[in-house]
Structure 1
Amino acid sequence: MTPTTQHLRAARYTWGGDEFLFVEIAEAMSLTANFTANAMASALAARTVDGIVDICPANASLLVRFDPDVIPPGSLEELVRDIEHEVAQLSEQTLETRIVEVPVWYDDPYTGETVARFRKGHQRPEGTDLDFAAEENGLPSAAEFIRRHHSSPWLVSMVGFVAGLPFMFQIVPQEEQLEVPKYLSPRTDTPPLTVGHGGCFACVYSVRGAGGYQMFGIAAAPIFDPAQRLADFEDFMIFFKPGDIVKFKPVGEEEYRAIQAEVAAGTFTYRQAPVTFDLQRALDNPTTYNRDIMETLNGL
């Protein structure tokens, strides 16, 4: 990531059938491209335009579903292009969001058992996914990889693949990002709440199912609650939203079990706090900015 705001070319607009407008902001993920996607989505939602059914920001793009009988495609495109121009001209590139602490039991037995079952589809049949990740990133040990994984915040760049699964992008300079390839052959099983990694993206698997990301640990609390039992899901069954910032907190077995008991009792709530994400500060001085933004949780 360069130390100044990256300038993006004009977005590419295409249509998906009669109901979808796809806006490709950039070909590659970056903090700037993702900020633009979220800022455009927020601005479009604030207009409360009749005929717009859904607005879905992604890593470096925006998808708008609309009813062509209510808003003509040409009118929608003109509106979204105007918003793109407004976002590009912003003097302060900030986004009102929140930082959330996600407890993770790294190197846990659940993902460990699954890792052992699927070594034939892995680049490195011996060892574990954590061993492989450390080696791929030139780090001396799995413990150092875990430290690097939880010592900086992650931006939720999009939510998808399965219900409620967040893709997360590390808020560090590009040369410091943790990068690990996916499995050579996808697994047919992944434990729910697995903390995974593929390419430059981290994720938390919201439900049990197939997957190909490297597995590093397991989150202690749900991120998808269809029954909406827990207070954090009172408004919506999916916890994460694009633009959220995540701070992973390493926990041991005892704390993991205690959190699981709170979840079962219906009393668990995530530690979270409102923050203003400042794109320019994140690009100019990520080390200082990351420390400041994570310290927002310390006063809770």
Structure 2
Amino acid sequence: MVKSDRQPIAEPELPEPRYTFGGDDHVFVDLDQAMSFRVNFRLRALTHELGARQIPGVLEIAPANSSYLVRVDPDRLDPRDLVRELRRLDEELGHGAPPAFRTRIIDMPTYYNDPWSRECLMQFRDRHQNPTGTDIEYVARVNDMSEDEFIATHHGAPYLITMVGFVPGTAWHFQMVPPERQLQVPKYIRPRTDTPERTLSHGGAFAAIYPVRGPGGYQLFARVAPPVFDAAQRLPDFEESPVLMQQGDIVKFRPIERDEYDAIRAECEAGTYRYRIRETEFDPQAFFADPYAYDDRLVKELSS
């Protein structure tokens, strides 16, 4: 990964949360307009504590990148009373260092510049900013890199899963580098009507893997070999849930060639493929202090 900048991550102070209502059975809490590691770590701490309190009438807690939604039973809990409880919770947690948490590191075998995503993107050049080239050519150019440099940068540091949602199994990957090192990629001018499942894409500052075939507007340039959504739960790693990724997981894209891609696909078809997953404790403060050293440690844990 790029290591020319060894400065700590300077995370901004967060504003006061904004509380709004969705009908008479939802409360929406916006922690910040902008996505950052600090807001996502605080969001995780708040929603975890809210769930642990098991407040009667709270039916569901849905965390996003920098906000969360709570569904309530209004016959058991007045949403206005919930807002008062959420304000108290925010005050009790304070605004100090984000707490450490248990998580997983997941190895993601990734075939960059694969033929399937290329075939797909070439069908939709009339919807793209660069109608005569490919998505990888475009995203490399807007980031002032060669294609090889973009690919190396894209998989050079691991990604934090900041949110799971939209299409079932869709995880939002935020690369674990300082803000000034984040890759930024515009979306298509008009969305595609088709995208192969398991296609790795990028839009804005987020990478995302399409869990199923469908429309989309993110730039395409790779395909992961194993699934991230298994509705039938055939593979062992999907025994507890058809969705692989969870908020707070860490993913390392590992570039592979066609032969390894085909071998993994054969294992998936046979129902025998196992992800390489390691459990660890993530310390936000250590990460903020030296993100590159911390990323290196995580990757070494994954390889051990």
- Tell me the TM-score normalised to structure 1 length: 0.95
* 1:205 aligns with one of 182, 186, 210: 210
Equivalent residues of 1:223, 1:238 under 8 A apart: yes
2 CA distance for matches of 1:108 and 1:37? Answer: 36
2 CA distance for matches of 1:2 and 1:8? Answer: 18
Per the alignment, residue 3 of structure 2 pairs with none
Equivalent residues of 1:272, 1:297 under 8 A apart: yes
Per the alignment, residue 219 of structure 2 pairs with 214
Query: What are the residue-to-residue correspondences of 1:48-59 with 2, within 5 Å?
Result: 48-59=54-65
Per the alignment, residue 260 of structure 1 pairs with 265
Per the alignment, residue 113 of structure 1 pairs with 119
2 CA distance for matches of 1:87 and 1:119? Answer: 49
1 CA distance for matches of 2:133 and 2:240? Answer: 42
Shift of 1:97: 1.2
Per the alignment, residue 278 of structure 2 pairs with 273
Shift of 1:211: 0.3
**Worse overlay, 206-215 or 219-228:** 219-228
Shift of 1:2: 6.8
* 2:185 matches 1:180: yes
* 2:236 matches 1:231: yes
- Counterpart of 1:215 in 2: which secondary structure? strand
Shift of 1:126: 2.1
Equivalent residues of 2:159, 2:176 under 8 A apart: yes
- Counterpart of 1:9 in 2: which secondary structure? coil
Query: What are the residue-to-residue correspondences of 1:143-154 with 2, within 5 Å?
Result: 143-154=148-159
Equivalent residues of 1:4, 1:280 under 8 A apart: no
Query: What are the residue-to-residue correspondences of 1:12-51 with 2, within 5 Å?
Result: 12-51=18-57
2 CA distance for matches of 1:151 and 1:192? Answer: 23
Equivalent residues of 1:153, 1:245 under 8 A apart: yes
Task: Specify whether residues 175 and 91 from structure 1 end up closer, same or farther in structure 2 by C-alpha distance, changes over 3 A only.
Answer: closer
* 2:87 matches 1:81: yes
Equivalent residues of 2:26, 2:79 under 8 A apart: no
2 CA distance for matches of 1:164 and 1:214? Answer: 19
Consecutive unaligned residues of structure 2, counting only runs of 5 or more, are 1-6
Equivalent residues of 1:14, 1:23 under 8 A apart: yes
Per the alignment, residue 8 of structure 1 pairs with 14
Q: Deviations over 1:183-205 (max 9, x none)?
A: 11110010101101001110000
Amino acid at match of 1:213: Y
Shift of 1:7: 1.8
* 2:244 matches 1:242: no
2 CA distance for matches of 1:49 and 1:251? Answer: 47
Shift of 1:4: 4.0
Shift of 1:92: 5.2
1 CA distance for matches of 2:197 and 2:92? Answer: 40
Consecutive unaligned residues of structure 1, counting only runs of 5 or more, are none
Shift of 1:255: 0.6
2 CA distance for matches of 1:14 and 1:155? Answer: 28
Count of matched residue pairs: 298
Equivalent residues of 2:9, 2:291 under 8 A apart: no
Amino acid at match of 1:148: T
2 CA distance for matches of 1:292 and 1:50? Answer: 41
Shift of 1:25: 0.3
2 CA distance for matches of 1:124 and 1:168? Answer: 25
Amino acid at match of 1:203: A
* 1:190 aligns with one of 191, 195, 200: 195
Shift of 1:36: 1.1
- Tell me the TM-score normalised to structure 2 length: 0.94
**Worse overlay, 3-12 or 189-198:** 3-12
1 CA distance for matches of 2:291 and 2:8? Answer: 11
- Counterpart of 1:64 in 2: which secondary structure? strand
